[in-house]
Structure 1
Amino acid sequence: MDEPAAPGMTVAAVASATGYSAQQIRDLERLGVLGRAVRAANGYRQFAEEHVRDLHAYRDLSYAVGPVAARDTMTTIRRLALAEAAALVCDLPAQLNQERAQALAARAALQAIQTEASIEDGPRETDAMTITELSGALGLRPSTLRFWEDAGLLRPERIATRAGTARRYHLDDIRAARIAVALRAAGYRIPDVRNALAAISELGAVDEPLVVLNRRLAAIGKRAVALIRATATLADIIDDAAP
C-alpha cells in the first residue's frame, strides 16, 4: 500500500473519499485521467484535493458520456492548447442533445399513435396501403419494409396479381410500421422493437413503450446534470494546463 512520507493524501485516503479502489486510482493516474501524484523521497504517492475533485468529475463524465469518452476527454484536454481543449468540452453535450431529440420525437410519434388508437373503431379496408404508398408516407425505402417483414416486425397481407404477389398493409401493420420508425429513431435495436410491438399487440396499447421513453428522457436529464457538474472541473483542468 502506498503511504506518504510527507503530508499529503494517501491512495487509501483518496479511495475512501471517492469510492474508487486503490488500483483504479493508480490506473487512472497512469492513463493520464488524473494529474501525476507527487512522489515522496521513498517513492510513495502523495495525492492532493485536486485528484479527489478530478475523480468525482470522471465519475460524472463517465455516467454522462461513457467511460471511454470520459477517459479520452480528461486525458486529451491536459495536452491540448486552451482553445482546442475548450472546443472539445463544448462538443460533449451534442450526443446527449441528439439522444434527447430522438427520444422526444419517438415519444411524440407514439403519443400520436396512442391518440389515433383511442378513436379508431378498428382496421378498415380503406386504410390499406401498398408498399410504395407506405414507404413513401414514412419516408423509408421499400427495402426497409421488406427487411422489417423478414425480421418479424410487420406481417402484410399477400395478394395475387398478374405479376405474382403484392404486399397490402392494413391498419395494424401501418401502425406497427409507424411505431417501428419512432423506436428506431430513438435508438432501439430490431429485437427491442420486435419485443415492444409484441407487447403492444398483447396489451392493445402503446403505454409500455411510452413508459420506457419517459424513463429514457429522465435518465438523459440526469446524465445532463452530471455533465454540467463535470464541466466545471474540466474548465479548471484546462486552466491549470494552460501555459
Structure 2
Amino acid sequence: MIDEPPSGPPRAPLRTSDVARASGYSVQQVRDLERLGVIPPATRSANGYRAYAAVHVHALRAYRGLAGAIGAVAARQLLTELRGQPIAEAAAAVTSVHVRLARERDEALRAQAALRAIQAEAALPDGERPDDAMTITELAAALGVRASTLRFWEQEGLVSPDRVTSLAARRYGVAAIREARIVAALRSSGYGIPAVRGIMGSLHGLGGIAHADRIPQGRLDRIAARSVALLHASADLAVVVSASASA
C-alpha cells in the first residue's frame, strides 16, 4: 500500500527535522538522500545549520513515488538529471517514465493473448491440432527469434527438441513448439531466464498449460501498482520540474 504524503509542506527556511516530518523520512534519511543527489544541497544558515526550502520536501515525496514506479536507483538518477534542465526536457524525461510503463503493460497483454491462443490450440481435438514438426530454422522464423536463441533456451532447459540424425539435428515436435512459444511469450513480456525457468517448471508440475494465461496477470498487477505510485508522485514532480527549470 502506498503511503500518501502529508499535505502542504511548511514554508522555508526549513530545518532537517521539518523536512523529515513533512516528507515522511527520518532525519538521517533526509541527509543520506541529499548526499545521494535526490534533493539539491541545502544552503547553510549563519550558524552553520542546514536550511531547506519547500522544494526539498516535494523532491523527497516525488522520490518515494518514483522509487515505487521505477526503482530506487533509477529514481535517484532521474531526480538528479532533472535539476537544471529546461522545462521541456524535464517534462519529457518524466513523460518517458509513463511511456515505459505503458510499453511494459502492452508487452504483458500481448504475452497473455499469446498464451491464451496456445491454450486454445491445446484444447482442440487431436485431429484439429497442428502436428507438423519444425526444424530449428523454421521455428526460429515462426517465432521471430534467432536459431541461436532457441539453442540457448534448450541449454537452459526451457525447450526440449528431439534429435533425429547422427549429426544431432534438432526436430521440434508439437510439445517442443508449444514450449518455445510459451518461452517466447514470457520473454517478450519482460520475464528473465530464471523466472521463465521457474514458470516452465510449474507448468510441467501442474501437468499442462491450463492456467498459463494467468501468469502475465501478476506482472500486469505489479505494473498497475507502479503506475499508481507514479501518479502519487506527479504533483510533487511538477513542482520539482518547475523549480529546476527556473533555478
Normalised to the residue count of structure 1, the TM-score between the two structures is 0.83
User: Residue 196 of structure 1 aligns with which residue?
Assistant: 199
Per-residue CA distance 1:97-148 (angstroms, 9 max, x = gap): 2211211111111111122222244998933222232222212222222222
1:118 to 106, 118, 123: 123
User: Residue 78 of structure 1 aligns with which residue?
Assistant: 83
1:58 shift after superposition: 0.7
Per-residue CA distance 1:37-83 (angstroms, 9 max, x = gap): 45443222344544333211110011112222211222222211222
Residues 87 and 165 of structure 1, relative CA distance in 2, 3 Å threshold: closer
Unaligned runs of 5+ in 1: 1-6
Matches of 2:245 and 2:134, distance apart in 1: 62
If asked which structure has higher relative contact order (CA below 8 Å, sep 6+), I would say 2
Contact 2:136-2:172 at 8 Å conserved across structures: yes
Determine whether 1:206 maps to 2:209: yes
1:187 to 190, 208, 215: 190
Residues 62 and 215 of structure 1, relative CA distance in 2, 3 Å threshold: same
1:29 shift after superposition: 2.3
Contact 1:60-1:226 at 8 Å conserved across structures: yes
**What is the total number of aligned residue pairs between the two structures?**
235
Contact 1:154-1:177 at 8 Å conserved across structures: yes
Per-residue CA distance 1:180-235 (angstroms, 9 max, x = gap): 10011112222222221121122133356533411211111121122233232222
Determine whether 1:88 maps to 2:93: yes
Residues 49 and 206 of structure 1, relative CA distance in 2, 3 Å threshold: farther
Matches of 2:65 and 2:86, distance apart in 1: 24
Contact 2:131-2:174 at 8 Å conserved across structures: no
Contact 2:107-2:189 at 8 Å conserved across structures: yes
Contact 1:124-1:170 at 8 Å conserved across structures: no
Contact 1:114-1:205 at 8 Å conserved across structures: no
User: Residue 173 of structure 2 aligns with which residue?
Assistant: 170
1:129 to 112, 134, 140: 134
Matches of 1:35 and 1:50, distance apart in 2: 9
User: Residue 220 of structure 1 aligns with which residue?
Assistant: 223
Contact 1:199-1:208 at 8 Å conserved across structures: no
Q: How does 1:98-113 map to 2 (within 5 A)?
A: 98-113=103-118
Normalised to the residue count of structure 2, the TM-score between the two structures is 0.82
Larger Rg: 1
Per-residue CA distance 1:5-30 (angstroms, 9 max, x = gap): xx954423433443323222012223
Q: Which amino acid aligns with 1:202?
A: G
1:240 to 236, 239, 243: 243
Unaligned runs of 5+ in 2: 1-11
